[in-house]
């Protein structure tokens, strides 16, 4: 097996009809992480059917309005990052940078709300080990927040790219936005499962 076995070929050009925002690689990440979350959700739903009363009791301690508020905040951050991509495409980089900051701001607000919710629940005696429902609650919300923290690094990359004309790259802007949307997407599913489905 040597290099002589296979000839070297030039990089194929991608036609406009084949264009995927951010490129296919980041969508592979979205797909794979979606499968991982789907596996967690299946385990959660299976255990919920086994101990329905325990899960219903646990869910009754959550504040639905706080979950709705968190969802609105994160959806707004997704709107801001979508606007950031549109402005970057149109060459309006100052507006694009402002929207990247706005995205991070809403992300930080979501994190603050989440920490307030965790502290409130822990003070009320609901911890990671207190019941089966709260095992899943803390696991899913913490693993989501780890994705969110990585999202702040991604937004930092986005800001860095937009700040200098030489570094600007539309695919990178779209990759960063796709990651942020995936964080939002996972939250909507977690919100529906933990707060809404009863």
**Nearest distance in Å: CB 156, another protein:** 13
CA atoms within 13 A on the CB side of 28: 3
Establish if 79 lies at the interface with another protein (CB under 8 A).
no
Query: What's the Cα-to-Cα distance from 147 to each of 50, 93, 101, 130, 191, rounded to whole Å?
Result: 29, 26, 18, 25, 15
Half-sphere exposure in the Cβ direction for 43 (13 Å, CA) = 12
Q: C-beta of 64: minimal distance to another protein in Å? A: 25
| DSSP assignment of 75-105 | HHHHHHHHHHHHHHHTT-HHHHHHHHHHHHH
Sign of CA dihedral 179, 180, 181, 184: positive
Is residue 141 left, alpha or beta, with left meaning phi > 0 and alpha meaning psi from -120 to 50? alpha
The full length of the chain comes to 198
Site membership for another protein, residue 166 (CB under 8 A): no
Q: Which stretch binds another protein (CB under 8 A): 40-48, 85-93, 113-121, 158-166?
A: 40-48
Rounded CA-CA distance 82/172 in Å is: 14
Q: Tell me whether residue 57 or residue 64 sits nearer to another protein (CB atom).
A: 57
Of 86 and 130, nearer to another protein (C-beta) is: 130
Residues 125-164: x/- map of binding to another protein (CB under 8 A)? ---xx--x--x---x---x--xx--x--------------
What is the nearest approach in angstroms of another protein to the Cβ of residue 90? Answer: 26
- The footprint of another protein on this chain (CB under 8 A) covers a number of residues equal to 33
Question: Interface mask (CB under 8 A) for another protein, residues 41-70, using x and -?
Answer: --x---x-----------------------
Residue 25 touching another protein (CB under 8 A): yes
Q: Which of these segments, 18-26, 58-66, 88-96, 98-106, binds another protein (CB under 8 A)? A: 18-26
Nearer to another protein, 47 or 86 (CB): 47
How many angstroms separate the CA atoms of 141 and 133, rounded? Answer: 12
Nearest CA to 102 out of 122, 125, 79 is that of 79
The residues binding another protein (CB under 8 A) are 1-3, 5-12, 23-26, 28-29, 32-33, 36, 39-40, 43, 47, 128-129, 132, 135, 139, 143, 146-147, 150
């Amino acid at each position: 097996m040597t290099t002589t076995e296979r000839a070297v070929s030039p990089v194929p050009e991608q036609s406009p009809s084949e264009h995927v925002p951010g490129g296919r690689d980041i969508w592979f990440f979205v797909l794979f992480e979606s499968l991982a979350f789907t596996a967690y959700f299946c385990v959660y739903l299976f255990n919920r059917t086994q101990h329905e009363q325990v899960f219903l009791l646990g869910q009754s301690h959550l504040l639905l309005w706080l979950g709705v508020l968190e969802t609105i905040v994160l959806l707004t951050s997704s709107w801001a990052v979508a606007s950031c991509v549109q402005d970057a495409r149109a060459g309006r980089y100052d507006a694009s940078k402002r929207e990247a900051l706005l995205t991070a701001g809403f992300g930080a607000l979501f994190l603050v709300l989440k920490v307030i919710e965790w502290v409130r629940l822990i003070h009320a005696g609901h911890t990671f080990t207190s019941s089966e429902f709260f095992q899943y609650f803390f696991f899913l919300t913490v693993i989501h927040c780890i994705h969110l923290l990585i999202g702040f690094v991604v937004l930092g990359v986005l800001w860095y790219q937009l700040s200098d004309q030489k570094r600007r790259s539309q695919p990178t802007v779209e990759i960063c936005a796709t990651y942020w949307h995936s964080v939002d997407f996972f939250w909507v599913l977690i919100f529906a499962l933990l707060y809404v489905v009863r």
